[in-house]
């Protein structure tokens, strides 16, 4: 084997989805399916029995993306990815989409283009906090103060009613 062939042989394969997830996909897509659950990439809607195997797989996918594609520091998905809800959803979608995309060369090219757009969104959302998160110091969400301005659910109507009756 030449050094160039050796280098190619060291490419890590994409992590295999867990069997429970594959079974769930098969059950959902079967013609006479009785499974009417959420799409497995809709992680906010998944039951615990699917989230449990999904997390280590998505973590392996993040490691694989970092190892394979992260050449520049800003391309690295931070190790606290699951604390960033936007990353959780996006990584799940990218991971499931890869299997579909790799059935044809053209859609594989598109998957890579989508990965590029994922990186742009990740960096826009992480902002400066991303530098700290990437070296293992997770930062709280910069928008937390603005989000705190939202009253608790249902409080708006009560506040409106009391405004009307106060004076």
Which residues of the shown chain bind Zn ion in the complex (CB under 5 A)?
78, 80, 133, 138
When the beta carbons of 28 and 83 are compared against Zn ion, the nearer one is 83
Distance in Å, CB of 107 to Zn ion, minimum: 31
When the beta carbons of 50 and 65 are compared against Zn ion, the nearer one is 65
Give, in order, the Cα–Cα distances in Å from 102 to each of 23, 39, 69, 106, 129.
Answer: 20, 20, 16, 9, 33
Half-sphere exposure (CA, 13 Å, Cβ side) for 14?
11
- The angle at the Cα of 115, spanning 112 to 120, to the nearest 5 degrees, equals 135
When the beta carbons of 17 and 78 are compared against Zn ion, the nearer one is 78
When the beta carbons of 28 and 138 are compared against Zn ion, the nearer one is 138
Half-sphere exposure (CA, 13 Å, Cβ side) for 37?
21
CA 163 to chain centre: 42
Distance in Å, CB of 130 to Zn ion, minimum: 8
Distance in Å, CB of 134 to Zn ion, minimum: 8
Distance in Å, CB of 118 to Zn ion, minimum: 16
């Amino acid at each position: 084997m030449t050094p160039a062939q050796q280098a190619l042989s060291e490419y890590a394969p994409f992590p295999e989805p867990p069997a429970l997830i594959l079974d769930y996909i098969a059950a959902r897509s079967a013609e006479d399916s009785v499974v009417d659950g959420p799409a497995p990439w809709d992680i906010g809607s998944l039951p615990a029995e699917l989230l449990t195997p999904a997390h280590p797989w998505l973590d392996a996918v993040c490691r694989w993306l970092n190892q394979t594609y992260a050449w520049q520091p800003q391309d690295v998905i931070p190790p606290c990815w699951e604390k960033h809800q936007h990353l959780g959803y996006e990584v799940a979608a990218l991971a499931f989409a890869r299997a579909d995309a790799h059935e044809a060369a053209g859609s594989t090219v598109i998957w890579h283009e989508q990965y590029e757009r994922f990186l742009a969104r990740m960096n826009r959302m992480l902002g400066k906090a991303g530098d700290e998160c990437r070296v293992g110091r997770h930062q709280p969400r910069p928008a937390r103060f603005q989000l705190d301005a939202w009253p608790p659910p249902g409080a708006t109507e009560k506040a409106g009613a009391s405004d009307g009756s106060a004076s």
